[in-house]
Amino acid sequence: MRNGIVLFTSDRGITPARLAVAAEERGFDTIYVPEHTHIPVRRDALHPTGGEELPDDRYLRTLDPWVSLATCAAVTTTIGLSTAVALPVESDPITLAKTLATLDHLSGGRVTIGAGFGWNTDELTDHHVPAEKRRTVLKEYLEAMRALWTQEEASYDGQFVSFGPSWAYPKPPQGRIPVIIGAGAGPKTFDWIAANADGWMTTPTTTDVAANADKLRKVWADAGREGQPDVRILVAKRPTEEDFADWMGAGASELIWGVPDSDESAVLTYLDKMAARLGLSA
């Protein structure tokens, strides 16, 4: 399994670019950052933990993910660039397609999109995304962006996205940008992934990953998809031997380890310890 890191970016602590350099030097494979455009003060949506209050104030302070990853791309050469998770439906799809294709082009094809449906429905509402339609909106956004990335004269006609024949360059170097959906396990999510995405990223509360990955693979095969879905594990606690066995049984491609948004010295010390524990080397 590969090893990635996720930084809950904020306007304090280590910068994404400095962390990306340090992570690449220590043998980590991917850097992930999150996305929230804003947090409405009045909020009806519960946090995924079930609480009315946010766990901390970083949700209010997150940096733009694509600007953050662009700074990472500029100072690294191999580390993958991804999100855990981005919210594509909070951007204009034509503009976002351009941003992602540009980042992928300039980084040499290192971008993967970790996308979510959006738990904060109040945030989505401000972007004119109906909460009950957010999966449909994301489906259309991805279809429209893929058209722009792959077709000489792209067009799309949907309920939430529509544009006539258009030219759009650059195209992603690998011909596509993989999309991994970060969401809780369940039939609805797995059906959606099999129809629209390239894989699944667990949530911090996901359990029985191997059993759920088996369910996803069955849905994937039943949908006529070739190959296997990409399964990535968001590590939310110090794992046990049983956890590693579960993740191996799931056929996970990557473990995603969190790092604190502390000052540079503290983060680099933390990263050194993590790299040593995982047996990584530059």
The pLDDT, as a whole number, for residue 76 is 98
The pLDDT, as a whole number, for residue 282 is 62
Q: How many residues does the chain have?
A: 282
Locus of tokens 């738990």: 119
Cα–Cα dist 159/100, whole Å: 23
Angle at 39 between CA 97 and CA 126, to 5 degrees: 60
The pLDDT, as a whole number, for residue 224 is 98
User: Which letter does DSSP use for residue 113 in this model?
Assistant: E
Q: How many CB atoms lie within 10 A of CB 56?
A: 11
How far from chain centre, in Å, is Cα 40? 22
User: What DSSP element (H or E) covers 32?
Assistant: strand 30-33
Locus of tokens 């000052």: 263
Angle at 193 between CA 190 and CA 198, to 5 degrees: 135
Write out the two tokens for 234.
């968001």
Domains and CATH numbers, the chain: 2-278 (3.20.20.30)
Residues lower than pLDDT 70 in the chain: 282
Cα–Cα dist 35/59, whole Å: 9
Q: Cβ distance 233 to 194 under 8 Å?
A: no
Q: How are strands ordered across the β-sheet holding 199-201?
A: 80-83, 30-33, 2-7, 254-259, 230-235, 199-201, 179-182, 113-115
Q: Cβ distance 55 to 31 under 8 Å?
A: no
The pLDDT, as a whole number, for residue 56 is 87
The model's pLDDT over 206-263, given as tens digits with 9 standing for 90+, comes to 999 999 999 999 999 999 999 999 999 999 889 999 999 999 999 999 999 999 999 9
